[in-house]
Structure formats: C-alpha cells, structure tokens
C-alpha cells in the first residue's frame, strides 16, 4: 500500500513542490529569511496541490454493461468462426487423396481437380507424373424396363439440370 503511494503521481508532485519551495527559498535567503520564504512558498504549493489533486471531483464509474455485451457478442462470433474453421478442415481432410507412385516408395497426397493440370513429383525416384481426374457415373440400381414409347419420348424431351 505504501509503495503504491510513493509511486503515485500525487506523491511525486508533492515532493516536486517541496523541492521547488526549498530551492526558491534558498535563492531568496540573501533578501528574506530562508524559513519564512520556505513557509510562504510551501503554503502556496500546498494550495496549488490541493486544487490540482484533492479538490477534483471523482470521475463517475462508467457503466460497463454495454462493453460486456460487446465482449460477449464478439466471444460468440469467435466461437462460431472456430466451429466453421473446424468444419472446413474436416471437409478439406475428407477431400485429400493419396495416390501411390509407380516406384512404390512414395505416395502423393493432395487435392486433385479435373479442371487443372495436376503434376506431382516423386521424392524417391524424382519422376514427374500428371494426375488425371475424371468423373464417371456408374449405374448401381436395376435399370427400368421401359417398353412404352411415350415414356421414352418423355425421357428424351426432359430438360437436363444445369
């Protein structure tokens, strides 16, 4: 508690006023008695000190509920963003593909797209490979038995989804 007061602005300013009063009194000691001038200057310094620090009205404590609401809202946003990032990481991890090299000593891991030229290099055999990606549809259900000519016409004239 005492160390806080010694480090405070008020204590340092009071000490400064004391040193200034002593210095001016010493400088005027040829004209006026040192103790008389020191007492007068100390009284003036005390008055200034009183009006600078003690007589000031205390600042009212501001309502922090608005600030707390903003902090809580931002905390919620950060949590939501963290969840979205985790979901993207899961999606990214599920899309990673591992392909073995022809030499058998290495595997290539990455996201390969059919729209781009995917070139990989084996670290073991130092060969370069192009990874071709294609999408094919494979029928896994039983085909419909369509003998009706009107049904075949409907299928042919149906609009393709874009």
Q: What is the pLDDT of residue 160?
A: 66
Please tell me whether residue 130 adopts helix, strand or coil conformation: strand
Q: What is the pLDDT of residue 145?
A: 61
- How many angstroms separate the Cα of 103 from the Cα of each of 69, 111, 115, 119, 160? 60, 21, 27, 16, 43
Q: What is the pLDDT of residue 84?
A: 92
Q: What is the pLDDT of residue 147?
A: 64
Residue 162 pLDDT grade (very low, low, confident, very high; cuts 50, 70, 90): low
For 59, phi then psi, to 5°, come to: -75, 135
Per residue in 4-60, pLDDT (tens digit) is 767 777 778 778 878 888 888 888 888 888 888 888 888 887 887 777 776 666 666
Q: How far apart are CA 8 and CA 47, in angstroms?
A: 19
Q: What is the pLDDT of residue 46?
A: 80
For residue 132, what is the DSSP state?
A: P
Per residue in 81-136, pLDDT (tens digit) is 999 999 988 887 777 778 788 787 777 777 777 777 878 888 888 888 887 777 77
Q: How far apart are CA 93 and CA 103, in angstroms?
A: 25
Please tell me whether residue 3 adopts helix, strand or coil conformation: helix
Q: If you average pLDDT over every residue of the chain, what do you get?
A: 78
Q: What is the pLDDT of residue 56?
A: 67
- How many angstroms separate the Cα of 91 from the Cα of each of 88, 95, 96, 111? 5, 6, 9, 11
Residue 61 pLDDT grade (very low, low, confident, very high; cuts 50, 70, 90): low
């Amino acid at each position: 508690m005492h160390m806080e007061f010694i480090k405070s602005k008020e204590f340092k300013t009071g000490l400064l006023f004391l040193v200034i009063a002593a210095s001016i009194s010493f400088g005027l000691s040829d004209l006026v008695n040192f103790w008389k001038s020191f007492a007068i200057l100390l009284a003036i310094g005390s008055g200034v000190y009183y009006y600078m620090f003690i007589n000031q009205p205390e600042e009212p404590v501001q309502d922090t509920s608005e600030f707390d609401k903003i902090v809580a809202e931002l905390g919620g946003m950060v949590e939501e963003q963290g969840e979205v990032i985790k979901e993207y990481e899961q999606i990214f991890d599920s899309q990673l593909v591992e392909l073995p090299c022809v030499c058998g000593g290495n595997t290539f891991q990455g996201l390969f797209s059919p729209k781009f030229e995917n070139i990989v290099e084996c670290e073991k055999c130092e060969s370069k490979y192009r990874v071709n990606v294609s999408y094919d549809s494979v029928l896994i259900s039983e085909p419909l038995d369509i003998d009706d000519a009107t049904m075949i016409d409907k299928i042919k004239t149906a609009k393709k989804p874009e």
